[in-house]
Amino acid sequence: MTKFATLRIDGATRAVRLDGDAHVDLGCTDLGAYLAGSPADEKAGTTYPVEGADFAPVVTYPSKIICVGHNYKNHIQEMGRELPPYPTLFPKFAETLIGAYDDILKPEETDRLDWEVELAVVIGKQVRRASETEAAAAIAGFTVMNDVSVRDWQFRTIEWTQGKIWEGTTPVGPYVVTPDEVGGVRPALNVSTTVDGVVMQSDDTGTLLFDPVFLVEYISTIIALKPGDIIATGTPAGVGHARDPQVYLVEGETVVTAIDGLGFCRNRVVK
C-alpha cells in the first residue's frame, strides 16, 4: 500500500513514504513540495521509525482548502434541507490544520464545537477546467479530515466561513493513500466518528452526492487546483448539531474520525 505523510522531525517537517516499519524521507520539506516536484535534498532516503512518529498535517501550507457542504443525502435530510443541484463550497485556511493526533484547541468563544468526519482529496498536479479524465489523473490520493465546526458562529449569518476557519481545530492525516489502494478515484469506504468510544457517525463514501472526480472538475472550473491542495468532500449524518438534544464536544473528550483503508485522526479536545 502506498502511503505518504509529513512528519515533524527535529523542529522541522519532512515528507515521507511508509515502507514497512519505517518512514523513508522523500527529500522535501512536506508532501505539498514533493507533489509539486521540488528537487530532492540531501536528506532523501533517510529513514525514521514508525513508532512514535509525530504527524504534521499531510500538507502543511496548501495554497487552498476547499470544503463541500451538504454532500451526503442523509446529512442533508437531517439538517432539514433539499438536495442541492450544485456543490456547496466554502474555504478553509492552512492555519486551521493540525496533525492527525494533535489536540483540538477548543475556542473559548463557543460551547458548540462539532465533529465532521470527511474524506479529503489531495491534488497531485495542477489542473484548470479539467475534463473528467484530467480530474481523475489529478487526484494524488485520499486522507482523513475532521472538519470541526463552531456552530454558533457558523450560523450567525447565511455564509458559513466564520464557523469553519478557527485556528488549530482541523485534524488531517495521518497518511495520503493513493487511489489504486482504495478502489480507485471514486472509492466506497466506510467512514465513522466516535466520541469517547461512542459511535456518532457511520456511512459510506459511495453515497456522496458529488464524487471526488466531479468535485475536481467543478472546482477547477472556478480556480486552478495546485499540487497539495485539499478538497474536503463533506460529512454524513450524525453531527452533534442535528441531534435532539444537541450534543457538542467538551474539554477532555477524545474524538476519533476514521476511514477504512486510510487510517484515523485521534484528537483530544483541550482548552
Residues 6+ apart with CB under 8 A from 96: 65, 164, 165, 166, 167, 168, 169, 170
pLDDT of residue 3 exceeding 90 = yes
Q: How confident is the model at residue 70 (pLDDT cuts 50, 70, 90)?
A: confident
- The three state secondary structure string of 36-57 is CCCCCCCCCCCEEECCCCCECC
Long-range pairs for 214-218: beta carbons < 8 A, 24 or more residues apart: 214/135, 215/68, 215/87, 215/121, 216/121, 216/123, 216/127, 216/130, 216/135, 216/136, 216/138, 216/139, 217/130, 217/131, 217/132, 217/135, 218/86, 218/87
Return phi, psi of residue 224, to 5°: -65, 135
- pLDDT, one tens digit per residue, over 85-109 is 999 999 999 999 999 999 999 999 9
CA angle 209, 215, 219 (to 5 degrees): 140
Per-residue pLDDT at 1: 59
* Domains, the chain: 1-56 (no CATH), 59-270 (3.90.850.10)
